[in-house]
Chains A and B, each alone.
Chain A
Amino acid sequence: MSAAALPGTGQPTKAASRPAFDRALLLAIPATLFMLMLFVYPFLYGLWLSFVPAKGGPLANYHTFFTTSDLWPTIGTTLKLALPATVINVGVALPIAFRMRVRGRWQRIVTTLLVVPITLGTVLIAEGMLNYFGPKGWLSHALQLVHFYDGPIRLTHNYWGVLISLVISGFPFAFLLILSYVTGIDPVLARAAATLGAGSFARFRHIYLPLLAPGLAMCFCLAFVQAFSVFPSAVLVGAPAGPTRVISIAAYQAAFEQYDYSLASAIAMIMGFVQLVIVAAVLSLRGFFYRGPVAGGKG
């Protein structure tokens, strides 16, 4: 034992009241600069731009958006795609990830299979969908071949095409995220619940679900933001003039067809605000659930 630790010989440390500057914080400078230049500055620039329209007062763009009949409904159109896609992605990924939670051959195979669509990108997925789901696609041919359904299949160039595309590109993401949450829950908790009389559904309902809830909320938010900013598939496999004229298409047209950057910025800001509202609503639900370590005691 060192002498300083003996009673009466130690000095109370003054450093405790005012911690010295941690020089390791300097390491955060490059990342901070990067964030400022590539995220904060463009965002603030866009925000400023949205308030300086070509003509009219500072709020003219926002006024235009909410009074023009081919602009404001894009919020609803986008939500009608993004919310169902997110609910499907998270809702289907949850039971599958739950079944796959035990590490094994199947978990590896399925995970590998699911990573593939993530790497493909939305354009390639849209290409594939046109070949597969199109009126002259494989699916149509196959169904006609077995005389299961002889009519034309309309799963592209409409609402359903975009929804399918959002599920294909968004599901793996939701699955992998939820899988990592599920595998993080100590399986001994479920075993303990089983010895206390909980059947498999009760174990899911009372143990896994409450512990997963914060992670599911987070996953929902990320998947939603991803789906809400849908653009390539809305154009390629959707009907960009009508039912899938999403908000990003409106922003694109304002910027690159009408060359009204100010209006485009305003639309982008509205898009961000809608996302923020949904994310804030979902994350506030997390407050009702337990948030903390998901292990049952000492490891």
Chain B
Amino acid sequence: MRHDFRELKLERVTRHFAGAGGHAFAALDELTMTIRRGEFVALLGPSGCGKSTALNCIAGLLSLSGGAICLDELRIDTLPPEKRGFGMVFQNYALFPHMTVERNVGFGLRMRGVPAAEIAPRVARALALVQLGGQAAKLPGQLSGGQQQRVAIARAIVIEPPLVLMDEPLSNLDAKLRIETRAEIRRIHGELGRATIYVTHDQDEALSLADRIVVMRDGVVQQIGSPQQIYAQPANLHVARFMGYRNVLELDVAGVTGDRVELAGGPMRIVGTLRQALGSRRAAVAIRPEELVVGAPDNVANAVRGRVTGVEYGGRDSLIEVTLDGGVRLLVRSDARAARGDAIALSIPPERALVYPA
């Protein structure tokens, strides 16, 4: 088993499962990408999108229905998991309940036949890295959820794997611990200098951790890009919806000039930016609640008027529900004060109203 690598290549990696009525469906459909040494890649998508399937295929816990996985020039998709040598962190920790923390962390080293004299200092180093130095003699059941997860991380990294795979490692932790452990994971990734593939359904986690994000839906990759690209320039409507473009309006196309599209519906006229070629006269415009501007000076483009129909207080700002004169509802995140029944005007810069085929 190797400890270092240049790149991991996934080529048309496909996995079918038997579905209802004996029909096979593709949980993962032709995933192709290359992960380079040092990279932190997040697989992001709603449950059932195939992100965990992809991770299990890479780990060797699921066999492929098609495609190939290569670590540099070595084809690994035919190897069992114990021969791949990737470290994996599971969602429910999967710590061995009958072994102490120390034996849990040392398990991978013992399986590799590392001499006992070498195991102890390496385990101690890994536990120090996850800041669990004093807990070595405890059983997993005596630790808190956050500590257990850090043991799981230590156990995965102590074997110095070329690649660390993480399957929603933070989803069982509370909000505060999640943010702390997130920072830890990023720090540990930096210290190891290898690669991490991180599965999550949480956009914030993916945006804050990853160098590159793979957005998936129904087993198919929707977009691969940097956090900035995924956040600001979603490739299609699914990605936009998933990345927090909560206002999606379906309107008629009134005209296209370059990448500017004029959309109309009832009394509303919105100029947006084309993100994906249109196939028909209908289009969807996607707008983030935080990019709508409260107040519309007379000469501004893309102004709409309506009434406040709901306010969800969120501390620094509020999520305001506005029902437009035509009956359409929009969500606006703003620190402006608003109360139910207030008349309100909103505007959106044309470059932040993204237009996709409906």
Which residues in A have some Cβ–Cβ distance to B below 8 Å?
A: 186, 188-189, 191-199, 202, 206-207, 210-211, 289-290, 292-299
Residues on A with C-beta less than 8 A from B85 are 197
Q: Which of A186, A191, A199, A293 has the most CB of B within 10 A?
A: A191
* A189-B94, A297-B92 given; A194·B108 CB < 8 A: no
Q: Which of A195, A199, A290, A293 has the most CB of B within 10 A?
A: A195
Residues on B with C-beta less than 8 A from A299 are 92
Assess the A295–B111 pair: CB atoms within 8 A. Answer: no
Q: Is B1 an interface residue (CB 8 A)?
A: yes
Q: Is B224 an interface residue (CB 8 A)?
A: no
Residues on A with C-beta less than 8 A from B140 are 296-297
Assess the B107–A194 pair: CB atoms within 8 A. Answer: no
Assess the A295–B97 pair: CB atoms within 8 A. Answer: yes
Q: Is B82 an interface residue (CB 8 A)?
A: yes
User: What are 6 inter-chain pairs, A to B, with CB distance below 8 A?
Assistant: A189-B96, A191-B61, A193-B96, A195-B61, A197-B111, A296-B95
Which residues in B have some Cβ–Cβ distance to A below 8 Å?
A: 1, 59-61, 80-82, 84-88, 90, 92-98, 107-108, 111-112, 139-141, 145, 148-149, 152, 155-156, 159, 165, 172
Other-chain residue from A199, A206, A296 in contact with B92 (beta carbon distance below 8 A): A296
Assess the A297–B81 pair: CB atoms within 8 A. Answer: no
Complex Cα distance, B85 from A210, in Å, reads: 24
B40 shortest CB reach to chain A, Å: 19
Assess the B96–A207 pair: CB atoms within 8 A. Answer: yes
Assess the A188–B98 pair: CB atoms within 8 A. Answer: no
Assess the B97–A296 pair: CB atoms within 8 A. Answer: yes
Residues on A with C-beta less than 8 A from B97 are 189, 211, 290, 292-296
Assess the A210–B98 pair: CB atoms within 8 A. Answer: yes
Complex Cα distance, B155 from A219, in Å, reads: 33
Residues on B with C-beta less than 8 A from A294 are 97
Residues on A with C-beta less than 8 A from B88 are 192, 195
Residues on B with C-beta less than 8 A from A298 are 92-93, 145, 148, 172
Assess the A194–B81 pair: CB atoms within 8 A. Answer: yes
Complex Cα distance, B95 from A272, in Å, reads: 41
Complex Cα distance, B84 from A293, in Å, reads: 30
The 4 closest A-B pairs by CB, nearest first: A297-B93, A290-B98, A196-B108, A197-B111
Q: Which of A193, A196, A296 has the most CB of B within 10 A?
A: A196
Assess the A188–B90 pair: CB atoms within 8 A. Answer: yes
B63 shortest CB reach to chain A, Å: 13
Assess the B108–A197 pair: CB atoms within 8 A. Answer: yes
Complex Cα distance, B96 from A211, in Å, reads: 9
Residues on A with C-beta less than 8 A from B149 are 297
